[in-house]
Structure 1
């Protein structure tokens, strides 16, 4: 059992192209590398594209699991729980309760980078949360696939 996480900027330049690349990489990882669990976030276009790519792979390979990884439980998740339970196999809170609120997103991103065997990234610049997650992944034993320009 292997795990793939995702890290990418909230804005994506060519959504269709990035979606197709995400889909191909997810399918490759599932078939060739034995990845059965995919952890996705919920904070921007790259996260939505990643989720949709994994859902497409899951249509062909129903043993695939999609986990939504969040820094904390939000009102949206609570109010629309049925939607989230339908679209994800599990919701994981990726930051510990003792982390101060302003650091929860950073803690969650670090959690995803450290738990993943593979990270599919979309990194075009060296600042921001996605770039920081990418740096965490490079320090661990995570194999990184970057669809961005860096």
Structure 2
């Protein structure tokens, strides 16, 4: 079982969706990736989740999970569908300031591939894409059509 995760800046253009879809299809068909992990912090994560939802209908052997950084509160339950989510063990004890980084560490540990949308070298998305590259994972950066 091969896995992929996603790291991207909060803001990204909706126009990347076809490119993101093409990369995910390539990972499924050419590399045998069948497990995907995505966060929920911004536009990029939302686009990735919608692509995964669509592709799960076409490729029923794949699975994906939205990896929560915190347990849902009462208001979250009203506006969010949690049927495709997981909460990594141990995150409940992490201080709020560090919880997204710890969640990202967990996702990176699971992954063989990373799909990213990185336009600048600062911030958490850039940090984790670079960390993945240093760990020898294949990183696709949709912002510049290159692989690290």
- TM-score bracket relative to the smaller structure: 0.7 to 0.9
SS at 1:102 equivalent: helix
1:9 match: 9
* Cα shift at 1:132: 1.4
Relative distance call for 1:118 and 1:20 in structure 2 (3 A) is same
Pick closer, same or farther for the CA change 1:112–1:76 going to 2, 3 Å: farther
1:27 Cα deviation after fit: 0.8
* SS class of match (2:65): strand
Q: 1:36 Cα deviation (Å)?
A: 0.7
**Contact 1:36/1:65 (8 A) holds in 2:** yes
Q: Match of 2:60, SS?
A: coil
Q: 1:72 to 1:37 in 2, by over 3 A?
A: same
- 2:107 is equivalent to residue 109 of structure 1: no
Question: Would you say the 8 A contact 1:72–1:95 is kept in 2?
Answer: no
Q: Could you tell me how far apart the structure 2 residues matched to 1:25 and 1:77 are?
A: 34
Aligned pair count reads: 145
| Equivalent residues of 1:69, 1:108 under 8 A apart | yes
Tell me if the contact between 1:39 and 1:66 (Cα under 8 Å) persists in the aligned partners: yes
Deviation, structure 1 residue 71: 1.8
Once the two structures are overlaid, the 10-residue window that deviates more, 102-111 or 3-12, is 102-111
- Listed as ranges, the matches of 1:32-111 within 5 Å are 32-75=30-73, 79-80=77-78, 83-85=81-83, 88=84, 90-93=85-88, 96-111=91-106
Give the secondary structure class of the aligned counterpart of 2:81: helix
Q: Classify 1:111/1:78 alpha carbon distance in 2 versus 1 (closer, same or farther; 3 Å).
A: same
Return 5+ residue gaps in structure 2 as ranges: none
Structure 1: how far apart are the matches of 2:65 and 2:3?
Answer: 10
TM-score (norm 1): 0.86
In the TM superposition, structure 1's runs of 4+ consecutive aligned residues that sit over 4 Å from their partners are none
Q: CA RMSD in A?
A: 2.2
